[in-house]
Structure 1
Amino acid sequence: MDLTFRVTARIAKPVAEVFEAVVDPAELSRYFTTGGAQGRIETGATVYWDFADFPGAFPVWVTEVVPQQKIVLEWAANDGPPDEADGQIADAGYRTTVTMTFEPLEDGRTLVAIEEHGWRPTENGLKASYGNCQGWSQMQCALKAYLEHGINLRDGMYK
């Protein structure tokens, strides 16, 4: 079982603006990281994200950045307690990989694709992957609303 997903969204802004809204912690904090973001997303950096629905800043390891094209991140799998059926210790220090790509479209919009993979093929891994798929879909919706209309969709959503 390969626990991988990919979500996409079209943002009506040029690639440079969309990319900057993701890599700049001040911008990211305005629409996604409801508890704030610390550190600019750059190759080799460790940044910290905090969310109202998952309180407490946690590390995000940036493994690759190609300006205005691609961001590759790793973070803790956070797949919860061990599955009783398989006896594996869940979240025993393993990470998943998130790859974001930014593609300019002919009409001036940007196609943002986010893929995540690396969960253990367990019931908890499957549940965690579904949760993150939902989270990245929300991130894309929030990014679109913020850049196109100046609205923070996540403001007050989890408190």
Structure 2
Amino acid sequence: MRLESNATIQIQKPVGEVFEGIVNPEKMTKYFISESSGRLETGKNVIWKFPEFNERFPISEIKIETNRSISFVWDPETVVNITLEKLPDNSTIVRVNENGKELNADNLKWALENSGGWANFLACMKAFLEYGIQLRKGAFDFMKEKPNK
């Protein structure tokens, strides 16, 4: 049995704006990551940095279908699939699925944490794209490594 993490939200913006909000690092750094080595594009590899971690995360196996889906690997055991669904009112449903880990105690903890993490990603993206609010700013400062005294 394989575990998966899921999160879904509706964003009151057209699918093109939501898509651009995910693949464009200038937008994504306003609500999710602090740095990116480039735009998400099929066949390209990029590096992400988060404000609360010192590590950098390689993003590989990127596959893009404009205004429909984004998939990538950032954990060798899983694939992240983000799908976009345009609605008649010109809003967009965003679904995130990350799957692939075997069922065990450590991976069950991962699935629960990542489901919350992806829900946070979606809420932060919605706040930024709809209202220009940066929910992550300062939200995870408590997680930063403290310098040794």
TM-score, normalised with respect to structure 2: 0.89
Structure 1 CA distance, aligned partners of 2:61 and 2:20? 15
Q: RMSD of the alignment, in Å?
A: 1.2
Structure 1 CA distance, aligned partners of 2:61 and 2:22? 13
Over 6 Å off, 4+ runs = none
- Aligned residue number for residue 62 of structure 2: 63
Structure 1 unaligned blocks of 5 or more? 77-93
1:17-42 alpha-carbon deviations (Å, 9 max, x no partner): 00001000111111111x32221111
TM-score, normalised with respect to structure 1: 0.84
Other structure's SS at 1:112 match: strand
- Aligned residue number for residue 144 of structure 1: 126
- Aligned residue number for residue 104 of structure 2: 122
Query: Could you tell me the percent identity over the aligned residues?
Result: 37
Residues 32 and 142 in structure 1, CA contact (< 8 A), matched pair in contact too: yes
Structure 2 CA distance, aligned partners of 1:53 and 1:123? 25
Structure 2 CA distance, aligned partners of 1:156 and 1:25? 19
Count of residues paired in the alignment: 141
Structure 1 CA distance, aligned partners of 2:104 and 2:12? 38
Give 1:57 shift: 1.4
Give the alignment of 1:73-112 within 5 angstroms: 73-76=72-75, 94-112=76-94
